[in-house]
Amino acid sequence: MKLIKTKDGEEMSAKAFHVIKDIVKSNPYAVLGLATGTTPLGLYRCIIEDYKENGTSYQHIRTVNLDEYQGLPKSHPQSYAYFMRENLFRYLDIEESNTYIENGTAQNEAEECARYNKLLSEMPRDIQLLGLGRNGHIAFNEPFTPFGSKTHVVDLTENTIKDNARLFDDISEVPRKAFTMGIKQIMHAKQILILASGVNKADAVYKTVCGEVTEEVPASVLQLHPNCILIADSEAASKL
Ligand code: GLP
């Protein structure tokens, strides 16, 4: 794993942007695996600014997202589909039909997981962007998720529900379940870019980089990926 330490979140986002821009420039048909959460917001702002200033085109780019809350329709302001539209897609020339995410309102969980698995196998990702949960989770793969897992529905842990409650009016509104891409599929991306910012990620960053590779810390699996970059700001990297 290649580690890049930055002074703050802004520099983390700028460095991550250069990684993404290189891919989009060298292959206008690239497939980008994208993530939600607070961490990638600065990167998404850089992408939007660059699009406005330099006209970098996303017309043929396809995107595939990591996860989606179960039960939330795409129009729900807390759904990840809505997040992606409002924080990135609506500002770019990307085709909505080229942006993929699990359907949170799918009635048949198994069918929806199978649909997403098929889609992922047909669309090899040039890069997969990741944030990091405080307990080392990636996407919604909580501790002890098997490294061999594919798309599945998870029961979110109390900690993850609490962490994500800040984006809802009340903790009771946070869905208890989510669809998530599996760890095996995250590892299938040609390149992985994981970002971490803030002191509350310091433990997870330490375990991801220096800890044992164990299902107890899902992100530790990234040590086994041949082309993974972790960009961490000084607070997130403070225990390294
Ligand atoms: C959620 C998402 C993850 C994300 C994590 C960290 O659990 N499913 O993909 O990495 O939150 O979020 P944040 O970047 O807001 O700290």
User: Which of the following is catalytic: 68, 112, 142, 163?
Assistant: 142
Any residues with CB less than 8 A from the CB of 160 and at least 6 apart, and which? 133, 135, 137, 140, 142
Q: What is the pLDDT confidence band of residue 141, given thresholds at 50, 70 and 90?
A: very high
Q: Is 163 a catalytic residue?
A: no
User: Which pLDDT score, from 0 to 100, does residue 163 have?
Assistant: 86
| Residue 96 Cα to ligand 1 middle (Å) | 23
Percent of all residues in the chain with a pLDDT value above 90, rounded to a whole number: 96
160 pocket-lining for ligand 1 (C-beta < 6 Å) = yes
39 pocket-lining for ligand 1 (C-beta < 6 Å) = yes
| Residue 4 Cα to ligand 1 middle (Å) | 20
User: Whose CA is closest to atom 11 on ligand 1?
Assistant: 37
Is the separation of the CB atoms in 136 and 208 below 8 Å? yes
131 pocket-lining for ligand 1 (C-beta < 6 Å) = yes
User: Whose CA is closest to atom 10 on ligand 1?
Assistant: 131
Summary mean pLDDT of the chain: 97
**Residues β-bridged to residue 177:** 155
Q: Is 225 a catalytic residue?
A: no
| Residue 38 Cα to ligand 1 middle (Å) | 7
Residue 164 has pLDDT above 90, yes or no: no
Q: How far is CA 172 from CA 98, 129, 133, 169, 225, in A?
A: 33, 29, 20, 9, 37
**Global pTM?**
0.97
User: Which pLDDT score, from 0 to 100, does residue 167 have?
Assistant: 83
User: Which pLDDT score, from 0 to 100, does residue 107 have?
Assistant: 94
User: Which pLDDT score, from 0 to 100, does residue 37 have?
Assistant: 94
The pLDDT tens digits for 205-230 are 999 999 999 999 999 999 999 999 99
Of 81, 66, 194, 64, the closest CA to residue 136 belongs to 194
The pLDDT tens digits for 16-65 are 999 999 999 999 999 999 999 999 999 999 999 999 999 999 999 999 99
Please tell me which residue, 157 or 1, carries the higher pLDDT value: 1
Percent of all residues in the chain with a pLDDT value above 70, rounded to a whole number: 100
66 pocket-lining for ligand 1 (C-beta < 6 Å) = yes
User: Which pLDDT score, from 0 to 100, does residue 23 have?
Assistant: 98
User: Which pLDDT score, from 0 to 100, does residue 160 have?
Assistant: 86
